[in-house]
Amino acid sequence: MLARSIGTLVLAAFLSSGASAAEIRHQPVGEGVGFIAIGGQLDIGDERVFEQAAASYERGVVLLLSPGGSAIAGIRIGEMIRDRRFSTGVAPGTTCASACALTWLGGFNRYMSASSRIGFHAVFTDDGEARRVSSVGNAFVGAYAQRMGLSASAIALIVREDPNAIEWLTPAKAQSAGISLRMLEVEAPSRPTGATPTYPHFVTGLDPLGDNWLALKASPDLRSKRLAKLAPDTPLRVSDRSGRWISVELPDGRSGWVAREYVGCCRR
C-alpha cells in the first residue's frame, strides 16, 4: 500500500511536470494523516514552505525526489520531520541525492526500494571555478546526523565522497553503517491467463566491491541450499513472497527464493 501510494503521488506530482526548482505539495489520506511530496532543487526558504504544509498533519510520510541543493535547507527540513515523527521515503526508480538525502535521514522511519537512488557526498562551497570541501559544512552535517541517532560510521559514509561524486546507498551499506531503513514491498505483477510471461523485476542493490551476486535459495531460509548465483540485472518474475523473501522465476525456467531487498521493479 505504501509503495503504491509513494509511486502514485511522487510520479504524478513531479515526473510529469519536470520540476527543477523545489515544489512542496501535500495531500491528506486520512484523519490527520498526509503525504508531503518534495521535488526539485532545495533552497533556503523551502523549510518555511515545508513547515506550513506539515502543520496540516499529525502524522505523515514525506516523499522525496530531488537532486539536492542547499544542505542547510535539507537539514532544517529533516529536523522538522524528526520533531514531528514523520516518515521519509524515496520511490522505486527515483533519486534523492545530496541535500535531499540529508532530509531523508530525518525520517522517524526511512523507506526505500532496491531501485531507489539515495546518494551522499561531502558538503562543499562553489566559487564558480571549483567545488571545495567545506569542513564547517561537514561538521554541521555530522552534528545533525548525531541528533538523528546515527553512528560515527554512518557519518563517515555520509560525508566521505568527493563533492563531484556520489556515494549511493545500498541496503548492505546501510546495514553496515547502522542506518536503519525499511524496504518498500515489491509486488508481483498480474497478467491475464494465457499471456506470455514477462520478467519486469531484476537483481539490483548489490555491492560491486563485495561478492556482487545474489543467492537463489531453495526455500525462504538463509540455511537452505543455494541453487545459483544471480548477477546484477538478472531478469526475474515474482510469483510469491514470505517475509523478507521473494519467490522468483528466471527466463530459463529456474525458480527459487531471493532476499527481497535486492529485487527492483519494474521493467516493461
pLDDT value of residue 131:
85
Per-residue model confidence as pLDDT tens for the chain (268 residues): 444 444 444 444 444 444 446 799 999 988 899 999 999 899 999 999 999 999 999 999 999 999 899 999 999 999 999 999 999 999 887 889 999 999 999 999 999 987 888 999 999 998 878 889 999 999 999 999 999 999 999 999 999 999 888 898 988 899 999 999 998 865 444 545 555 557 778 888 887 777 889 999 998 888 999 999 999 889 988 877 777 888 888 888 889 999 888 888 765 4
Distance, in Å, from the CA atom of 90 to the CA atom of 192, rounded to the nearest integer, reads 30
From 191, 168, 184, 171, select the one nearest 246 (Cα to Cα). Answer: 184
Residue 245 identity = W
Distance, in Å, from the CA atom of 241 to the CA atom of 50, rounded to the nearest integer, reads 37
Indicate yes or no: pTM above 0.85: no
Q: Could you give the domains of the chain?
A: 2-183 (3.90.226.10), 201-264 (2.30.30.40)
Q: Which residues pair with 259 in a beta bridge?
A: 245
CA dihedral 120, 122, 126, 131 (to 10 degrees): -100
pLDDT value of residue 189:
46
Residue 261 identity = E
